[in-house]
Amino acid sequence: MIDVYVDGASSGNPGPSGAGIFIKGTPEGAKSFSIPLGRMTNHEAEYHALIHALKICIENGYQIVSFRTDSQLVEQAVEKEYVKKNLYQPLLQQVLVLKDELDLFFIKWIPSSQNKNADKLAREAIHLNKE
């Protein structure tokens, strides 16, 4: 099983944002990604981090994947397949479509203290945004 840790971060809310993705358990070893996301809210960045991570897993043929996030909002929305706020509905729909491309998909909330690698990568990604 592949373990994927995701985090989104924003400098300001909204503000320059980034996604951090830390993948372990791959045949190639651990992989790290810092992806600049442009200007958005922190919650949007959390969704985009998961979307990017799903795409990376699909592109690499990882089919049995466990995702970890410190965003309860994202974890609960994915588990319930429902989100109240209109802003997040298209993002949740993207997640639901992408997760169906995997053989096994798990998502689990973890405390921020267990998500330090992804958090660091997300914060680095903020600085990669073009001004």
What CATH number corresponds to the domain at position 36? 3.30.420.10
Query: End-to-end CA distance of the chain, in Å?
Result: 38
| Number of structural domains the chain divides into | 1
Q: What is the pTM of this model?
A: 0.96
In a domain, 82, yes or no: yes
pLDDT surpasses 70 at 131: no
How many residues are recorded in the chain?
131
- DSSP code of residue 114: G
Contact present, 45 and 17 (Cβ < 8 Å): yes
Q: 């921020």: which residue's tokens? A: 112
In a domain, 66, yes or no: yes
In a domain, 34, yes or no: yes
| Structural tokens at position 75 | 């974890």
State the pLDDT confidence band at 130, using cuts at 50, 70 and 90.
Answer: confident
In a domain, 37, yes or no: yes
Strand stretches in 52-123, DSSP E: 64-69, 104-109
Q: 């897993």: which residue's tokens? A: 57
> Residue 102 sits in which domain range?
2-126
What distance in Å separates the CA atoms of residue 112 and residue 63, rounded to the nearest whole number?
Answer: 26
In a domain, 6, yes or no: yes
In a domain, 131, yes or no: no
Backbone angles phi, psi at 49, to 5 degrees: -60, -45
| Axis crossing angle, helix 89-99 with helix 72-80, rounded to the nearest 10 | 60
pLDDT digits (tens, 9 = 90+) for 48-89: 999 999 999 999 999 999 999 999 999 999 999 999 999 999
Q: 């989100």: which residue's tokens? A: 83
